[in-house]
Structure 1
Amino acid sequence: MIKNYLKIAWRNLAKNKAYTIINIGGLALGMAVTLIIGLWIQDELSHDDYFENKDKIAQVMQSQTFNNLTGTGQAIPRPLEMAFREGYMDNFKHLVMSSWTNSQYLKYKDNSISRDGNFMQEAAPEMLALKILKGEKDGLREINSIMLSSLTAEALFGQEDPIGKIIEVNSQYDMMVTAVYEDLPFNSSFYDTHFIMPWEKYATTREWVKESEDNWGNNSFQMFVQIADNTSMERISSTIKDVKKDLYEDGVEFNPQLFLLPMKDWYLRSKFEDGKQVGGRIKYVWLFGIIGAFVLLLACINFMNLSTARSEKRAKEVGIRKSIGSQRGQLINQFLSESFLVVLFAFMIAVFIVLLSLTGFNELARKEIVFPWGNPSFWLTALVFILLTALLAGSYPALYLSSFRPVDVLKGTFKAGRHAGTPRKILVVLQFTVSVAFIIGTVIVMQQINYAKNRPIGYDKEGLIQVPTFSEDFTGKYDLMRSEFLASNAIVEMSSSSSPTTRIWSNRNGFTWEGKPEGFQEDLAWTEVSPEYAKSLNLKIVAGRDFSREFATDSNAVLLNQTAVKYLGLKNPIGMLIKDSSEEDPDPPLKIVGVVEDMIAQSPYEPVKQGMYVYDKGGESSYYNLRLNPQQSAKQNIAIIERVFKEHFPNIPFQYDFVDEQYGKKFASEERIGRLSGIFTALAILISCLGLFGLTSFVAEQRTKEIGVRKVLGASVFNVWNMLSKDFLKLVTVSCFIAVPIAYYIMNGWLQEYPYRVILKWWIFALAMLGAMGVTILTVSFQAIKAARSNPIKSLRTE
């Protein structure tokens, strides 16, 4: 029976080639979009699945309140470790202190490379269940040991066995390779951890870390834990909530609250507002899941519309089948078989489309998704997907077509009915409502990105590069290198800073100044810079003066940005003193010598943070900032800079970043969403137009004789075009008026997440409506004009 159903279904599809191509093509596109979105969602949801203990691993988080605004972050004070070990270890199987992931220079013989990695405590490899390829699993047992990822070991040693070999780190100390572990996958939180060194090495070789052992006010560290088997994240969070507040009296005013953030939430639900977890990337999972469902729905609507539109042509077939004894259930099975065959062919084409587009999609989405050929669960899901799609696409046509009365059909009195086309009209309206909403959403996303991109950033990022200076070799050599680089004529100015231009690495409080409001809790971005910082960035001085080497007192000078002046409530800031009351033996007060224009160092979608730029007395910067010579090409300048660099630092790899590229990365996430939305919107419109094209073709074919009569009676091409087009234009107009309020509501809610955001303008919605109508006119016009220009004699000669 099933074989017979499929055979008849194949004959019907082969007989109506144009209809079949439109149906299969539309479904294939819809299924391809749904498949690739499904793979993307699966990759998002499986983030960190590599770690066997994922459900038990968490990061200790801290919320603090400044002036009634609560902020949440991963940074915690170092004394918290001993507080947990001494009073709360029953809750934990492992507790691991960690540095932030930073770049280090690794050297073996004449081979020197730069890689990102962490300093972590001994339990880290077991907690993360690292797959050890060579060496010992407890490779952090000795203070001078280092564990390398597979690719890092290969880059350093080639085919040589790395175990037991000594490598030099930052020209500062020698470390012995004790283990090589499998490279962590791209969709994991520790993907950038290419080496791990003992926490004890970090704590004993950096003076500021030593001094932080009993300093509750220095939140500069990370702590990861694996909870015990007999407890839960929620229970531990309630237990540790007030640990810092109970042990740190000076911090009570900030109401520090500790809690655990499970690993499963690090990637998808890491956003906090006012101390509460409010989501994160999970919103994009929902967004693209909805887009995928709607795109597939559009393709299924095409199938329904074209199947029901051809109802009169298949009415006699249904009548004959019923008259010779076919039951309605058998007819439904027949039509569902056709639907299944179409969907099966469409799925095969969809897989081919996904394979062709996966590389480009990975580049666009910044993923490393591979097609899961060997995954049985994928193919089981695919089978369910095919069956559900076939049922969704074929159910309405099957029920509709199988309901015809054989007597009316065979007597020739069958009419589809005055309201037979109403379901098709509703489906067309639904299609274009979705498409227009997609258009509006995509335009607004791109508007928001461009709005932030065009925002004044306060400094000149063009022709500016930054060179990391993490090695001890750079200590005390800033003045020498500045002289050398300037003499090379490759740069026009150079400065140093304790953080990169596009980020804020340090925040401080505990300052006092004249007129400070009682109870005011300040939070200031802190950057130590050389005197040439403003000049090298072309940062405008709006009040007072810049740092100067001619004034010895400038070693205790400070520049504030405009936001900081307003934030601190200073009316005449120049010459005012700011004292650091957070230290037992504070440095001399800082004297405000100038105010600089606000510069964006954090998110371009957020207000500029209040910041202070302090004269760097220690000379231990993290970056050189070099302003390239505009009279020469960037390539020529970089080549000269590298040559000078290698003359002084032959054992350190030359690294640099263009600041404009680093700033551009701040838009990467939104741009990816915008581009993907644009592609999916284009495909949604294409699928909708395929259905519209098919419907127009059918209507033109159905009304061939009517068109012939009208032309004989003098109807013009425009009259015929208008007759065939106006109904579809009416439907699309209705779609626009439904889509606009829906899109406005959704996108206005999305924009509320950005303090610095575009204002929704009427022309965005008008443009989307005009675009939808224009596409409709183009789609319908092809068939309408073709029918209008046809010879009426051919359509009437059989009468």
Structure 2
Amino acid sequence: MFKLNLKIALRNLWKNKGFSLINIGGLAIGLASCMVLLLYVAYEWSYDKQFTSNDKTYVVYQNMEANGKTFSWAWTPNVMAGEVQAKLPGVKYASHSTYPRANLITVGNNKLISKVVFADPSFLKILNYKFLKGNPVKVLENLNTIILTKSFAKKLFGDEDPINKTVKLENQEVLKVEAIIEDIPANSSIIFECIMPWDLFLKRETWAKENNWGNNMCLTLVQLQDNKFFTAANAYIHDIYKRNQKENLAVALLHPLSKWHLYGDFVNGKSVGGKIDQLKIFLLLAFCILMIACVNFMNLSTARSERRAKEVGVRKAIGSSRQSLINQFFLESILITVVATVIAFILVEVSIPYFNNLLNIKLEIDYSNFRFWAALFILMIFTGFIAGSYPALYLSSFEPIKVLKGLKLKTDSSVSVRKVLVVGQFVFAACLIVCTAVIYQQLNYIKNKPIGYDQSNLIQIAVQGKMYENKNLELLKTQLLKSGATSDVTFFSMDVTEGGNNTINIQWPGKNPNEEVSFNHRSIGYDFIKTIGTDMLSGREFSEQHPNDSSNVMLNESAVKMMGLKNPIGSVITFWDTKYTNVGVVKDFVVESAYQKVAPMIFRLAHNEDISVILVRLNPGQNISSSLNKIDALVKEIEPNYPVSRKFVNESFEVKFQDEKILGTLSNWFGCFAIFISCLGLLGLALFMAEQRKKEISIRKVLGASTANILALLNKDFIKLVAIANVVAFPLAYLVINKWLSAFEYRVDISFWPFALAITISVLIAVLTVSIQSVKVAKANPVDALKYE
């Protein structure tokens, strides 16, 4: 019986090639869209879950109340790990490490800037990376040693065995390679290319040896023996700061490593979501697109009901049961789904490199993973049964006597079901249009919102090696200005687009002793205001004409407002127990999130050891390429042993919008796919209606109706359906997009335009889709439809 049903299914598909192509194409696009979205969700979901005991591993977070709210960050003191290991209930391992940082690694003439982590041995017991060479038990115990990832070892040594060979760190420390580990997966929160001992970090950074509970400078990881200890451990760690430093008001908490990436947003010291909210949107999007594709299959299959009615009648008349007919239609559905899945698979493989490049992610299909094939099989069977369910039940219900006598089938209920399905499709499509339009508006608003300084032609150069020595920084500044490649040059204590370097240890006249205020603090060079293109609101900036500026500070306008200073110029500010005089008020500019208000900031005059980057404004009258070549050559003259590390500030700033860019891009792409598939659904209903009404249309033509009259008649019903869909969709879209926007302090207002756009696009799509089919019917010879009457 199965063989016979398969033959009938194949003949039907081959006989109706156009119908089959539309059906397979719609399902293939729906399945491909669903698969790409599910791959992305799986990729994000698997973050930090590659470690054996990830479910028992926690990141230590610090909560600090300041500026009227609670700040949460995964930065802790260097003494945290030792205290946790000794006193926290149920601890198996506790580790402290630096976050990945850029350092020069050299082998002969091969000089590479690498992402480096300094860590203690427990780091590799908690995060059990796969060792390819070396003894995992003994690593990170000796001072001058290093562990390399597989690809970085190849960059340094080629095909040679790197074990026991030496590399140089910053042209100073000679380190022996003691192990090689697998490359760090892209879906890991800590990405690095080599690990070095924590003791080496202390040797190089002597300030880090001080046991200071107020200096949050490292990452602390904790692994419990069992999660039954979590409640007691989390309760104990809560007051760990206060127990060790009475005046320290910070509190600590254990945040699961497996949730670090997905649940990174904190409100009032508690995790409230983050990336997981985006994944929920994409899961819903994947499910809805697949459902739209299935609905199309239903509509297109039942649109051919009259053509298949006699087949059903004959088969029932010669003894076929309804169950066998249901099996026949389900087999056809699954057969189409299998073909669609193969095409979808090809589409996914072709599109993955594009999405990886566009979104800067690393999606890939793991063909060796049984779970992937199981998920694909379940998705295929689920789609086949859902898509074929209504056609199978509807077509198999025809009564053979009525069909074979040529009596007209009763189709009112099927038409109603199809109308509901089409309305559902366009509800989703209209929601997508509105949400995508608002996401686009919000992203553009933030990108174009004044950030307080001019990013154009502003580059930052990392200060490295000999650039710190003696007068080299001033010499380089002088040479850069003389070269004509730059118009302005200054110094800054860190990447101008990064956050960090916060303190609450600032006092001022009239400060409430019970109030904690968090300030960003930065060290800057002369000509800072002019170079970055911001403004002084009052007072002056640091100048070589004022040799005592090392005892002065400048404040931004948010700091002045926070302090409540009526006459800020001349006010005495106590910063880390040293008194400074404020000489200027700088206009607010964004250094952290463009979505949040600018934090209070205090500026000091930079000394050589404070400077991390040189900020350079390119000369607008010179060719950019030749200017960059001149800058690189001058930097190389000062420090020939390091590769020049420079980047445009606007490129660094663009990274801040990565999550919203992914959301906007995927919404745009798959929104278009959903709309296209919805058009196929509408085409299915138009085919059905045209077939049902072809005699009515022919009679109208005979009586003198024009093609335009008939098109208006047929389109009227569909425009009603689209109008109903929009009425249902708009409140839903408003609720969804308003909730999304509520996470931003700076946000666009939800205007009428996205809804107007949704109405325009949906009506236009409906009219064009229906008209394409209706024109064929309206222009057909009425004799063909009426000749049997």
TM-score when scaled to structure 2? 0.97
Classify the secondary structure of the residue corresponding to 1:71: strand
In 2, are the aligned partners of 1:104 and 1:470 still within 8 Å (CA)?
no
Aligned match of 2:80: 80
CA distance in 1, matches of 2:511, 2:198: 40
Matching residue within 283, 287, 294 for 2:277: 283
Aligned match of 1:511: 506
- What one-letter code is carried by the residue in structure 2 that aligns with 1:242? D
- What one-letter code is carried by the residue in structure 1 that aligns with 2:331? S
CA distance in 1, matches of 2:759, 2:227: 59
Cα gap change, 1:81 to 1:409, in 2 (>3 Å):
closer
- Deviating more after overlay: 152-161 vs 743-752: 152-161
Classify the secondary structure of the residue corresponding to 1:269: coil
1:624 aligns with 2:618: no
Question: How far does residue 618 in structure 1 lie from its aligned partner after superposition?
Answer: 4.6
Aligned match of 1:115: 114
Cα gap change, 1:781 to 1:245, in 2 (>3 Å):
same
CA distance in 2, matches of 1:471, 1:497: 16
Q: Which residues in structure 2 correspond to 1:380-779 (within 5 Å)?
A: 380-471=374-465, 473-476=467-470, 477-580=472-575, 582=576, 586-587=577-578, 589-779=579-769
CA distance in 2, matches of 1:448, 1:673: 12
Question: How far does residue 729 in structure 1 lie from its aligned partner after superposition?
Answer: 1.1
In the alignment of these two chains, the number of paired residues is 787
- Deviating more after overlay: 634-643 vs 174-183: 174-183
Question: How far does residue 368 in structure 1 lie from its aligned partner after superposition?
Answer: 1.8
CA distance in 1, matches of 2:370, 2:163: 38
Question: How far does residue 67 in structure 1 lie from its aligned partner after superposition?
Answer: 4.7
CA distance in 2, matches of 1:506, 1:762: 42
Q: Which residues in structure 2 correspond to 1:338-353 (within 5 Å)?
A: 338-353=332-347
Cα gap change, 1:792 to 1:417, in 2 (>3 Å):
closer
Question: How far does residue 230 in structure 1 lie from its aligned partner after superposition?
Answer: 7.2
- What one-letter code is carried by the residue in structure 1 that aligns with 2:293? A
1:42 aligns with 2:42: yes
Aligned match of 2:132: 133
TM-score when scaled to structure 1? 0.95
CA distance in 2, matches of 1:15, 1:172: 77
In 1, are the aligned partners of 2:465 and 2:639 still within 8 Å (CA)?
no
Structural RMSD (CA): 1.8
Matching residue within 308, 320, 337 for 1:314: 308
Question: How far does residue 691 in structure 1 lie from its aligned partner after superposition?
Answer: 2.0
**Structure 1 segments unaligned to the other structure (5+ residues):** none
Q: Which residues in structure 2 correspond to 1:75-474 (within 5 Å)?
A: 75-88=75-88, 91-137=90-136, 138-191=138-191, 193-211=192-210, 213=211, 215-229=212-226, 231-251=228-248, 254=249, 256-471=250-465, 473-474=467-468
Question: How far does residue 795 in structure 1 lie from its aligned partner after superposition?
Answer: 4.2
1:11 aligns with 2:11: yes
**Structure 2 segments unaligned to the other structure (5+ residues):** none
- Deviating more after overlay: 657-666 vs 40-49: 40-49
CA distance in 1, matches of 2:152, 2:41: 30
CA distance in 2, matches of 1:360, 1:6: 37
CA distance in 2, matches of 1:472, 1:508: 30
In 2, are the aligned partners of 1:439 and 1:768 still within 8 Å (CA)?
yes
In 2, are the aligned partners of 1:458 and 1:539 still within 8 Å (CA)?
yes
- Deviating more after overlay: 466-475 vs 615-624: 466-475
Question: How far does residue 159 in structure 1 lie from its aligned partner after superposition?
Answer: 3.0
Question: How far does residue 619 in structure 1 lie from its aligned partner after superposition?
Answer: 4.2
- What one-letter code is carried by the residue in structure 2 that aligns with 1:45? W
CA distance in 2, matches of 1:606, 1:83: 35
Output one character per residue of 1:160-202: Cα deviation in whole Å (capped at 9) or x when no partner.
Answer: 33333332222343322222222111111222x1111111111
CA distance in 2, matches of 1:723, 1:18: 26
CA distance in 1, matches of 2:432, 2:506: 50
CA distance in 1, matches of 2:388, 2:779: 35
Output one character per residue of 1:187-232: Cα deviation in whole Å (capped at 9) or x when no partner.
Answer: 11222x1111111111232132123x1x211122221122224744
Classify the secondary structure of the residue corresponding to 2:602: strand
In 2, are the aligned partners of 1:475 and 1:620 still within 8 Å (CA)?
no
- What one-letter code is carried by the residue in structure 2 that aligns with 1:236? A
Percent same amino acid among aligned pairs?
38
CA distance in 2, matches of 1:771, 1:417: 30
- What one-letter code is carried by the residue in structure 1 that aligns with 2:10? W
CA distance in 1, matches of 2:163, 2:9: 65
Question: How far does residue 530 in structure 1 lie from its aligned partner after superposition?
Answer: 1.1
- What one-letter code is carried by the residue in structure 1 that aligns with 2:497? T
Classify the secondary structure of the residue corresponding to 2:112: strand
CA distance in 2, matches of 1:417, 1:190: 61
In 1, are the aligned partners of 2:75 and 2:219 still within 8 Å (CA)?
yes
Output one character per residue of 1:58-102: Cα deviation in whole Å (capped at 9) or x when no partner.
Answer: 2111112125411111111223233224333x6222221111211
Question: How far does residue 473 in structure 1 lie from its aligned partner after superposition?
Answer: 4.7
Classify the secondary structure of the residue corresponding to 2:323: helix
CA distance in 2, matches of 1:320, 1:49: 58
Classify the secondary structure of the residue corresponding to 1:219: coil
Cα gap change, 1:739 to 1:268, in 2 (>3 Å):
same
CA distance in 1, matches of 2:231, 2:41: 27
